[in-house]
Chain A
């Protein structure tokens, strides 16, 4: 009797968190799965099967988001991984003002994305923006950063990298710092140079840090919305529309069912890409 009570007793502690999780996560998730298969006007709904998904995947103005989102996620993730590693290694050396430079690198992360977006939009103005005025002074005619449909997406991706590389750097620094000194001593005894130090010690042993950076920035890239919205709102035309901004636009248009279907698709895409990636990266990790 007493033992069964004490067994149940422990579960009571899970109850508050469990209820919150159920009400604010599980319930909406199940509801959105349901509403993605309906025609929905917030007050009224009609079951229409997979029509919303079909529309989302076949209409050009909607499925352009898949291509753009993948490009955006790969570019931002790749650049953050490489630049973050270089900055991380650089900021782990014995520099005089290393603390100052570290905070400089991290600083953009603290800014509001919307403010960054507006500021860069102004700097990227084709004729009056800081970038092209500077380029002009050097005799180069700068591109129309956000107006040219071929490079607009990359321009936004670059701003994302500028803003997000600080986090990647900090993760790398933590990873590199945790490498025990023994390895460096062994390298010194064997007579290795600094390239060997980087290639044979830092790179393999900061793998866990790199994996976190890859996963975090890749998922972040897939879900980006705020920066795109602040800078281009998906334009010109549809050239910088990501899945997230398209979902928002469908919601604005009053197509609640369709936009919920988009959310479900985004959920599936993120999981389908992130989980295998995570498993793959974890397999390759080395123990310290």
Chain B
């Protein structure tokens, strides 16, 4: 009998301890001693945190709201973490996550607080608001500046070889030819990090829209595919052409993103098709080279089609099922206020114009960002496809790697991608697929 009792008590203590441990996770109010609140923020590990931390410090001083930042991996691995944590009800109070097509897959109505009627929404540009709107409700605030996709180039190399910024694809190819003849890498390829292989395709959307303004709509409704619409197929052909002409570095399949930025900064490579978010990384590692780095849009086939494809910033979302929704609302309100943005920009230089009205790019910005401004001022910009259409296939990096390394033709790559997006469209339950 005695051993029986012992056994029972052992079982109960185990249950109790496990219960306690699970209890910790789903924790209560997180109130700390002085009556303040601690907000938890989940963000990816590749975004620069300096600006966000500076704003968080200001919020702590002003509202006695502490911010605890935890990180997750970026890319698809990070999507996974976010989706799983939302599904299991284990999400932090604030979520920093992509706007555009990726947001759609998170089921925002169920997970995030609706911010449509917040007064500060009138200060945020419509272009951005569209990318965080699902079923006419706005869920996010911009978590930084906008970015562009284009061709980063080394101005020193351009000067030495007497080149000028190309206005058409033909001119760009002619420049490449001269750079290659001079014994330098014309186009830096960094396919070891395969997401970088997508840029020539993605950054071409401005040109696609110039030729076929209705393409994103038709594409979303499955009335057009990439392989059967010449304007969109052209983007894959450009990727193919760069490989076929041998303009990339020899080791492009083994080269990483960091190596690529190094080549650009040191002038070993002249061009790097990339997002302007690379500027922040460049500034961290090669601050004295920033004056040599410029950017131009991926040119189209005619001079009239010359503008930037832009990426909207990731956004902050408030976890609807969190325990600190009110504090989190204060947090985001301060973040988009002019005071908040000023603090942000002082620590985190913009990678493109802000998407909050009246927020100007500071004078101390990177030269490359100043190079973008004329395009923005004259309206020669268009959103990347992933912000206009919810359809984006997960295998794109692998497919662009295949096309960009000559293992598939442009046409076959586009057809493979059409199949890939079909899965995504079906998963989202879009009509017409």
Residues of A within 8 A of B (CB): 39, 41-43, 55, 59-61, 125-127, 144, 146-147, 149, 233-239, 241, 249-255, 258
Do A125 and B423 touch across chains, with their CB atoms under 8 A apart?
A: no
Q: Does B47 contact A (CB under 8 A)?
A: no
What CA separation (Å) do A241 and B394 show in the bound complex? Answer: 14
Q: For residues 340 through 360 of chain B, which have their beta carbon under 8 Å from a beta carbon of chain A?
A: none
Do A236 and B191 touch across chains, with their CB atoms under 8 A apart?
A: yes
Q: For residues 68 through 121 of chain B, which have their beta carbon under 8 Å from a beta carbon of chain A?
A: 76-77, 79-80, 83-84, 87, 105, 107, 110
Do B423 and A237 touch across chains, with their CB atoms under 8 A apart?
A: no
Do B254 and A126 touch across chains, with their CB atoms under 8 A apart?
A: yes
A235 to chain B, nearest CB (A): 6
Q: Name B407's contact: one of A43, A61, A146, A237 (CB within 8 Å).
A: A237
Closest A residue to B417 by CB, please name it: A61
Residues of A near B84 (CB, < 8 A) are: 42
Interchain Cβ contacts under 8 Å between A and B, 13 examples: A39-B426, A42-B83, A43-B107, A59-B419, A61-B395, A126-B250, A126-B254, A147-B253, A235-B194, A236-B401, A252-B77, A252-B79, A255-B394
Do B423 and A253 touch across chains, with their CB atoms under 8 A apart?
A: yes
A51 to chain B, nearest CB (A): 9
Choose among B76, B253, B401 the residue with the greatest number of A CB atoms under 10 Å from its CB: B253
What CA separation (Å) do A146 and B84 show in the bound complex? Answer: 32
B-side binding surface: helix, strand, loop or mixed? helix
Do A249 and B395 touch across chains, with their CB atoms under 8 A apart?
A: yes
Known A-B contacts: A147-B254, A252-B76. Give 12 more (CB < 8 A): A127-B250, A144-B251, A144-B253, A144-B254, A147-B251, A235-B194, A236-B402, A237-B402, A251-B80, A252-B394, A253-B393, A253-B395
Closest A residue to B76 by CB, please name it: A252
Between A and B, how many residue pairs show CB distances below 8 Å? 90
Do B87 and A43 touch across chains, with their CB atoms under 8 A apart?
A: yes
A36 to chain B, nearest CB (A): 15
Interface size on B, residues (CB 8 A): 33
Choose among B250, B254, B402, B426 the residue with the greatest number of A CB atoms under 10 Å from its CB: B254
Do A237 and B408 touch across chains, with their CB atoms under 8 A apart?
A: yes
Q: Does B424 contact A (CB under 8 A)?
A: yes
Q: Does B416 contact A (CB under 8 A)?
A: yes
Residues of B near A254 (CB, < 8 A) are: 79, 83, 105, 394, 424, 427
Q: Name B253's contact: one of A60, A146, A241, A253 (CB within 8 Å).
A: A146
B23 to chain A, nearest CB (A): 22
Residues of A near B393 (CB, < 8 A) are: 253
